[in-house]
Structure 1
Amino acid sequence: MLRPAWRLSHSCCLPAHLLSVSFLVASPPAPALGQPPASTLAIEGLGRAVARLDGPWRFHLGDDPTWASPSFDDSQWEQLTAEKPWGEQGYTSYTGYAWYRLHLSLNPSPRDQPSFALLVPHLDDVYEIFWNGSSIGRSGKFPPYPIWYRSSNAPATYPLHPATPESGSEHENGTLAIRVWKAPLTSEDSGQSGGFEGSPVIGYPESVAAYKTTLDYQWLRANQFSFSQYLLYGIAGLLALFAWLRDRQQKALLWMTGFALSPLLRLVLYGMRIAWPVGLSNALGPPVSSIRDISLWFLLLWLLHLDDNPSLTKLIRRFAIISLAASISDGLLSLLDASVSWFWLIQIADAVLTGIYFITAAVPLALVALAIKQHRHLDLARRLLVIAAFLWGMIQVVQRLAPQGQRFTHWTLADKLRAPLFHLYGNAVSLPTLAGIFLLVALLYSVYRTSMEDRRRRSLLEHEMSSARELQHVLIPETFPSIPGFAVTSAYRPALEVGGDFFQIIPLDGDFTLVILGDVSGKGLKAAIAVSLIVGLVRVLVENTHSPAQLLTELNRRLTGRLHGGFATCVALRLDPHGNCVLASAGHPPPYLNDREVVIPGSFPLGLFPTVAYPDSRLPLQVNDHLALYTDGLLEARNKSGELYGFDRTRELFAALPNAARAAEAAVHFGQDDDITVVTLVRVPMGEESTDIAPANRNL
């Protein structure tokens, strides 16, 4: 039975320069033989306006290539509007193929060319458009191996080639058929999507192009606040990155970079109308979000002074690894074929990974709660950060939890949370937007204040290190007294700013000279402080004893329990102008006499056991004999492959009778890993004594 003719008047939502349009549905033209008639939408007198094709459109589930034909009888198909998806019109949670069809009768003005264009907003997910049975365009790729694009893509336009007028008719008739494929639903889908997400429009190409330009302008204007927010994040991230590149020790600046640049990357993936395939953007999006979360965790650890807890820091590292692994795995699932029959397994895996992702979203809340529980001293900057992190964390938890399974729970909390609180120059401003800006400002302020505090602390530390270097200049002076009957050279190469090696040359009564060289366990400022204690004690003890063994015994007794678990090795020599040498060792590497190692009774290092007694040994030295003292930093020099300098190279080195500077440089060139000190004593005839201090000593 023929459907009656009907008339619909509808005003398009267009800017002022575009006209409203009337839609006429006229009686259909005579059908072809054997074909039932179909309702036709007649559009007349467009002029410079465009017509919105709200419908009703004929709609049918399934897929058949013959449904593109204009002669196909679709009178038994259901009618749906194009103003909203099929999920809101009785086909909730439907995925797969479906077709839309609309019969048009286009009547151009006599002065205009019969040429039209179609503007199509986004269709969910893959679609192909047919005009009178011929394909005029598509978006994405149908199964197998489907590809579709994000819903933020700009509307697309397609030219409609003139239809062939029917005999005796002043209208141009044509049939629009749209084939659509909806991808399987994810855990966050409400089931309300599918197909049209807005009505297409038709008009002359110039009018459609103008209408699309207007839509693009409206989209840009509505998103200018959002773009400004992301630009603010990007500027903050770049500033933090440049600051970190200048000072790599400021790890907080690196975390700030990760936190601030991640939203900008997500904007590129999701909000710039770039035609990213959904699989690709969903593969990259979760890891980017995870990097932002992890960066925030470590920023909170540092800013809330929680990083002094090694167990908590280790736990956060584990959470970071879990979060990044889960997000990468979740992203990789998006690259799998969504058209396979076992896609439900992928959906289950996605739900599990989303659960892990949700748990990690609560980490900022836990860190804030822990800082409050431990009564950490929080200044104004950190208090603002606590409030901002708590608010942002709660919103993130709700935003991630509420959409999960919403097609079963019908929760609308996430939608309400994203609802605009107010509009600013046409831009919707929501609670998550305000919370994100508040958190960024609080972080920037806290990072600035904390960086200034760290800079002051580092300045104080550098001042202390400078004082330690000055102290070491006193302990290891640039000039030493000459030793009668000996030519002396020395070299000192600390591994850090200050070191734990020491040596002293002290004149004694009766033309005797005491030479003492040692090494404190550890490096840096703590070792330098221990050195100052040892040198001070040596200077006091030599007032009462000239015996190297007795000196070490008394030194050990006074040091026991005062090195805080550390120790010191030491070798002491007493020399006279005639080449008589008395020496004692406290666990120190034995000296080299010419090309052989001097045999000295071994004993414990200083500072371990209070009752240790050290024996004296005698070593006669002839003219031209070369005696070399050194610390174990020379033996333990390590090259890039991990090989130690070792005893064999040390023996070959001293067999060449080098001065102290050449011996130290050989070890440094091999690969310095610890403080290196070398002292050489060469027996010379009386009157030829000399003392040579290596230039490195002047660079302490």
Structure 2
Amino acid sequence: MRRQLLCFLAAVTMVLPAAAQSVTAVRYQYGDNAAWADPAFDDSSWPVASKGEFPGPRFDSDGFVWVRAKLQVPAVDGQPLALQCASAESVIDSYELFVNGTRVGQYGAFPPHAAPLIAPQILVFDIPKGIATPGSVATVALRGWTFPANRDRGPIGRTQYPISAGLKIDNALLLHAVAAETQARATLRSTPQLAVGLVFIVLGVIVLVLGFWSRSRGLFLCAIWLIVAPIFLSFLALVSVAAGADLRILGALFQVANGIGMGAALELLWTVQGYRNRLFLQFGRACWIAVTLGGVLMCSLSSAGPLVRTAIFVNDWGLFAFDALLVVANLWALAGRGRSRPFAAAMLIINIGYFLEVAGASVRFDFFPLDLFQTGFYLSIFAVAAILVRGVWKEWKQADDLRIEFAAGRELQMKLVPQNLPNVCNLRLNAAYIPAKDVGGDFYQVIELPDCSTLFLLGDVSGKGLKAAMTGLVTIGAANALAAETSDPAVLLQRLNREICRLRNEGFITCLCARVSVDGFVTFSNAGHLSPYVNSEEIQLESGLPLGLVQGVEYPATNIQLAPGDTLTLLSDGVVEAQSSSGELFGFDRTRELIHLPADAIAQAALTFGQADDITVLTLTFVPAEVPA
């Protein structure tokens, strides 16, 4: 019901008689003089406001402006009167109103203790009884003061909209209702913009968390833009609904948000487009830092002294240079030298909107309450969202490809490290394998020979992951083929080295080969691998170069005899090179202390200490009395 009444009263004001309007020209004068409130003052020499509008105070002035007009007082006997001061585009920050020389109200505070406030679109001041006689003509004077940061300051500062005082005397109830309705409409118009901004801010926060989690600079910059750009636009929308807020605080916050947005735009542009010119990037950073510091300073001080003058100069010219730089960068991207033309086009609209405002030719649209400058921001937000969607799709496809690769890798791993060890006469086998990644580069093979002896190979391919696993698989295939030709470990490694060198793979392979006869006689040959252990004693083997480095390497042989119950242990360097969080290595001493344990116990001890590489352990216990199942 209340809202319907307000709508009705707002409609009534559209058909009010002309007697409620100014009966003389609206005149204005810059400066400050208390005598100008006197109704007897002769203001005929003052300039006349064209269509009720006049330019804002210049920066080099004291910021004061007076407005005088004679208004018809409506014949509303017995009803309270009020004075309305309406201006949707006003840059007056402190108001003081006089009717017939009597002060009827004030909004904000004047120097030397200035307190500029954001004014609502319509200010209403009640007129005490006896000051304005119904049916008479009253002299109304407005004393206004403009904050230094809002004053007209030349070609680089954005051109100010003309001031329109919008003075009217009418029924107090009616004017208060119209003011409330106008403010409610302004809030309603701002709600969709604020709601859309909130959605993007929430999305930005989610992307920011993902950026921190994945340590992705691109995601982090996209998140900052998704958060800051809506906040920047929300500041513009809040101006119409944040009546009563301290202009200095809100202005400083706006400058901080603007500075963060400029920095994010610059870094995001260079990252998205893939630019490499560090000089331009450093120049852009210097500009946005200067704009931010100058803006915060000029919004914090109420006196237009040398410090504020310098801050405004730095802010204006820094912003001009920054936008000029971005125009060049975006045009460069649109010419095909960047990676994302839609993002460059959206950012270019922002730059064009800025320069049009500087030139006093701001483009506004009739079909939605945004100008070209704000539209560019929204388009850039959608462009960043599109970049994120495309990135998510690409990451999903890559993850799908990785899943396929890992599935193939797991199949390879089963061939590199057999899950089921064969039953070998007079030997009890035990193995443990813990890869550092999903697929490792360690391998071992058990090859049974026609003379009832057995070949054991344990190796380590340099590197990790699927590429190392593929190299290990090739090595195993070659070793199985060569084992049909020779069972001599030294000759086998020599021929295997020749095949690996012929393939010319990057990296190298360490490999230990051992042939164990049914009577426990063992022949070793080593290609750069760790020496084996018998019980708790390390066997000193003469070693040749790792496989795959140079052709023609000869590998010496070493023979030992196992006694019943002896355990031969082969392992990879992932055991001794296990590393704790403090950087301490597992080392040979700890390995020697645990070498009598089963293979899985040794591997688990290294893993618990701190895995740094693939861990492989193979144990062979000579038990001539046992018969394999």
TM-score exceeds 0.5: yes
Please tell me whether the aligned partners of residues 59 and 77 of structure 1 are also in contact (alpha carbons under 8 angstroms). no
Deviation sequence 1:530-562 (CA, Å, 0-9, x none): 111111111111112222222222111111253
* Residue type at the aligned position of 1:183: P
Return the match for 2:462 from 513, 518, 521: 521
Change (3 A) 1:179 1:198: closer
Q: How much does 1:123 deviate?
A: 4.3
Deviation sequence 1:395-425 (CA, Å, 0-9, x none): 334334555xx5xxxx45xx25x243xx33x
1:448-597 correspondence to structure 2 within 5 Å: 451-452=392-393, 455-560=396-501, 562-597=503-538
| Cα distance in structure 2, aligned partners of 1:73 and 1:17 | 31
Partner of 2:49: 81
- 1:137 paired to 2:91: no
Q: How much does 1:463 deviate?
A: 1.8
1:205-220 correspondence to structure 2 within 5 Å: 205-216=172-183, 219=186
SS of corresponding position for 2:505: coil
- 1:369 paired to 2:309: no
Partner of 1:647: 587
Q: How much does 1:666 deviate?
A: 2.5
Change (3 A) 1:203 1:472: same
SS of corresponding position for 2:258: helix
* Residue type at the aligned position of 2:108: S
* Residue type at the aligned position of 1:181: T
- 1:342 paired to 2:311: no
* Residue type at the aligned position of 1:116: A
Return the match for 2:597 from 658, 662, 677: 658
Return the match for 1:680 from 598, 615, 619: 619
Please tell me whether the aligned partners of residues 53 and 200 of structure 1 are also in contact (alpha carbons under 8 angstroms). no
Partner of 1:307: none
Q: How many residues align?
A: 602
Larger fraction in helix = 2
Q: How much does 1:262 deviate?
A: 4.1
Change (3 A) 1:290 1:670: same
Deviation sequence 1:650-676 (CA, Å, 0-9, x none): 436525x33222222233233333322
Change (3 A) 1:277 1:627: same
Q: How much does 1:255 deviate?
A: 6.1
Change (3 A) 1:442 1:668: same
Change (3 A) 1:352 1:192: closer
| Cα distance in structure 2, aligned partners of 1:661 and 1:651 | 13
| Cα distance in structure 2, aligned partners of 1:55 and 1:75 | 11
Please tell me whether the aligned partners of residues 119 and 202 of structure 1 are also in contact (alpha carbons under 8 angstroms). no
Higher mean C-alpha displacement, 491-500 vs 238-247: 238-247
* Residue type at the aligned position of 1:628: T
* Residue type at the aligned position of 1:331: T
1:45-84 correspondence to structure 2 within 5 Å: 51=21, 56-61=26-31, 78-79=46-47, 81=49
Deviation sequence 1:65-101 (CA, Å, 0-9, x none): x56975996759835539666536xx65544331425
Q: How much does 1:687 deviate?
A: 0.8
1:7-22 correspondence to structure 2 within 5 Å: 15-22=11-18
Deviation sequence 1:420-449 (CA, Å, 0-9, x none): 3xx33xx35766677667666677667656
Return the match for 2:229 from 231, 242, 263: 263
Q: How much does 1:479 deviate?
A: 0.4
Identity of aligned residues (%): 20
Q: How much does 1:477 deviate?
A: 1.7
Please tell me whether the aligned partners of residues 287 and 328 of structure 1 are also in contact (alpha carbons under 8 angstroms). no
* Residue type at the aligned position of 1:506: I
Change (3 A) 1:69 1:551: same
Partner of 1:284: 257
Change (3 A) 1:164 1:474: same
Partner of 2:7: none
Change (3 A) 1:609 1:142: farther
Please tell me whether the aligned partners of residues 53 and 82 of structure 1 are also in contact (alpha carbons under 8 angstroms). no
| Cα distance in structure 2, aligned partners of 1:400 and 1:572 | 74
Please tell me whether the aligned partners of residues 459 and 509 of structure 2 are also in contact (alpha carbons under 8 angstroms). yes
In structure 1, runs of 5+ residues without a counterpart are 1-13, 24-45, 302-311, 377-384, 691-700
Q: How much does 1:135 deviate?
A: 8.2
SS of corresponding position for 1:510: coil
Please tell me whether the aligned partners of residues 563 and 607 of structure 1 are also in contact (alpha carbons under 8 angstroms). yes
Partner of 1:392: 346
Partner of 1:96: 62
Partner of 1:203: 170
| Cα distance in structure 2, aligned partners of 1:670 and 1:187 | 70
Higher mean C-alpha displacement, 277-286 vs 460-469: 460-469
| Cα distance in structure 1, aligned partners of 2:576 and 2:278 | 37
Partner of 2:78: 112
Partner of 2:3: none
Partner of 1:609: 550
| Cα distance in structure 2, aligned partners of 1:320 and 1:638 | 42
| Cα distance in structure 1, aligned partners of 2:105 and 2:600 | 84
Change (3 A) 1:187 1:610: farther
| Cα distance in structure 2, aligned partners of 1:188 and 1:659 | 84
Q: How much does 1:280 deviate?
A: 1.4
| Cα distance in structure 2, aligned partners of 1:590 and 1:232 | 67
Please tell me whether the aligned partners of residues 60 and 77 of structure 1 are also in contact (alpha carbons under 8 angstroms). no
| Cα distance in structure 1, aligned partners of 2:202 and 2:166 | 41
* Residue type at the aligned position of 1:137: Q
Change (3 A) 1:205 1:622: farther
Q: TM-score, normalised by structure 2?
A: 0.79
* Residue type at the aligned position of 1:647: G
| Cα distance in structure 2, aligned partners of 1:435 and 1:192 | 19
Change (3 A) 1:125 1:675: farther
Change (3 A) 1:342 1:260: closer
Please tell me whether the aligned partners of residues 457 and 513 of structure 2 are also in contact (alpha carbons under 8 angstroms). yes
Please tell me whether the aligned partners of residues 421 and 429 of structure 2 are also in contact (alpha carbons under 8 angstroms). no
Please tell me whether the aligned partners of residues 55 and 163 of structure 2 are also in contact (alpha carbons under 8 angstroms). no
Return the match for 2:573 from 623, 632, 635: 632
* Residue type at the aligned position of 1:659: P
Change (3 A) 1:109 1:498: same
In structure 2, runs of 5+ residues without a counterpart are 1-9
| Cα distance in structure 2, aligned partners of 1:468 and 1:636 | 24
Partner of 1:308: none
Q: How much does 1:526 deviate?
A: 1.1
* Residue type at the aligned position of 2:264: I
Please tell me whether the aligned partners of residues 469 and 498 of structure 1 are also in contact (alpha carbons under 8 angstroms). yes
- Could you say what the CA RMSD is over the residues aligned between the two structures, in angstroms? 4.4
Q: TM-score, normalised by structure 1?
A: 0.72
